[in-house]
Chains A and B, each alone.
Chain A
Amino acid sequence: MQACMTLIRREVGSFFCSWIGYIVIAGAMFLMGLSFVTLLDKLQGEPASMPLTELFLGGCFWLILLFSAPVITMRLFALEKSSGTFETLMTAPVSDWQVVIAKFTAAMIFYMLMWLPMLACVLALRYFARGSSLPNPGALGGSYLGIFLIGCLYMAAGCFASALTRSQIVAAMISFAFGLAFFLAGFLAGPLDLQRGWAAQALNCVSVMGQMKDFARGVVDTRSIVFCLTSTLFFLFLACRVIESRRWR
């Protein structure tokens, strides 16, 4: 436990020791701000037909997630491997899964910090808007839950990608590919003409896009929770195995 905490602290700290952390946060804030301004513009006209959070998160969430996940996770293992510190890390009395969990947790902490500015948007809205256009707390809670769960999935996939290679760029590309695949899964049903049957159902379950829509509306579906958590665990397990693989090569 102590080893995990120590590692998490160092990992989170190192995000803020380099430019990467600040650039990611600045980029995310810019997109959020842009989305917020568009939202305000829409609110000037007729009353919104869908919950504000859904309107707000529709575009900016995916843009931020798809690009920030690879950047946040690429250095986790790849940097340690290329600089050689992986060797000092793994010869300290810590187990492989402790290292994986610690790195994943650190990435999640940074990722959730990145989403904090969204609360400021909500507060601003609360200050300027009147009654009907206020986001309801359920939808807001649902949105954050969705951001967290889908973030878990993307960070875990990023961890796995980073464990695979010693080059940060390759790690980022693999993790971007994973992210894009999950994102686009929802769109596949149309072109493939899959309306029903098991394939359509499977695609529906994997489609994080649809799931986020539900979360943003404040609808919490256990299927998506189970999907996100199990696939997170799966990717972390894979990352663990990759780290372990140096023992059987």
Chain B
Amino acid sequence: MMIDVSNLSKSYAGTTAVADVSFQVERGEIVGLLGPNGAGKSTTMRILACFIPATSGAATVAGLDVFTQSDEVRRRIGYMPENNPLHPEMRVREYLKFRARLKGLGRARSRERVDAVITQCGLESVNKRIIGHLSKGYRQRVGLADALVHEPELIILDEPTLGLDPSQIRSVRQLIKNLGRRHTVLLSSHILPEVEMTCNRVLIMREGRILAADTPENLQRAFGKNGHLIAEIAAPFEELKTCWEQMPELAHYTISAAEGDYHRCALTLAGSHDLRPKIFALVVERGWKLRELSRVRHSLEEVYIRLTRPESEEETL
């Protein structure tokens, strides 16, 4: 068990940022904290990174309590805060060296680790540049390199792709995915595809509470109402129509003409089970040609929107 949070609450003067949150993260997992702004993601992360204490509840990292053994915990954590603050007047290598030494690495070890993270984060070409002159993408990588430099067991990244362009997001995402092999990663985001693609597990938060915690696939299955299938089949229109009408599992269908003999059928399923084998068998039986058969997955987005919609809004809908 890497992180064990139980009944964690944090209130600032008057407002409750995190309310009675409990979750666990296993070693080697990449977990995404997802939620709208002000959901308590950053607060939860700050508590885990020992920056602020919780009002009540307990949290342990690698079996160590974050309040009483904070020094030990901080040695095991690589934390990148929101907006990735850096010292703009320092040079990349100089800054990483400073951070490595600050985190207690020896002289030789810090040199070795700085070299390693510079390669790992693709900073070779800018390692002598001044941080303030770097592009946002490179600065983000410097922040990541800083979080990694002491080989922490747990890496906490608060909005690691905030303000990056799509290709930069892709490279940061790839970097995070690679981290999952050796480290446990907890990251927060309000960008869904990012979490969907990088994380093994998602925790959805709203107003300081965890609403759902599962793998992205399970969440889609549990919250996606109906499945959709797309099939492109070369068959006479009428025959297709009767076929779909006779199929009880279908709630709704539309057929549109595609190039050649093909028809594109968009099928809405009544239940949640997979109809694809059945359709394939049907095509084979009739001797039609099939060139596409795919399931349109409910994106995590729908799940997310449904879960994080404020209650007042839910009532009106």
Contacts and interface: CB of A to CB of B under 8 A. Distances in A.
Contact of B51 (A10, A17, A90): A90
Given A90-B51, A91-B49, A91-B79, A85 B86 contact: yes
B87 A93 contact: no
Interface residues of B, number: 30
Interface stretch (A1-9, A40-48, A66-74, A170-178): A1-9
Interface in B29-65: 46, 49-53
A195 interface: no
A9 B83 CA distance: 25
Contacts of B302: none
Nearest to B79: A91
Contact of B89 (A18, A247, A249): A18
B77 interface: yes
Interface residues of A, number: 25
A91 B87 contact: no
A193 interface: no
A93 B89 contact: no
A201 B52 CA distance: 44
Contacts of B79: 88, 91
Interface string A83-110: 1111111111111000000000000000
A10 B90 CA distance: 9
Among A7, A92, A94, A249, residue most surrounded by chain B Cβ atoms (within 10 Å)? A92
A133 interface: no
A93 B49 contact: no
Contacts of A86: 85
Given A17-B89, A83-B85, A85-B87, A94 B51 contact: no
Given A14-B89, A88-B146, A249 B81 contact: no
B193 interface: no
A193 to B, nearest CB: 46
A218 B87 CA distance: 43
A130 interface: no
B81 A92 contact: no
Interface of A: 2-3, 6-7, 9-10, 14, 17-18, 83-95, 246-247, 249
Given A6-B101, A10-B98, A88-B79, 5 more contacts: A3-B102, A91-B51, A91-B77, A93-B104, A249-B13
A-B pairs with lowest CB-CB distance, top 9? A84-B85, A6-B101, A93-B74, A17-B89, A87-B81, A85-B85, A91-B49, A91-B79, A93-B75
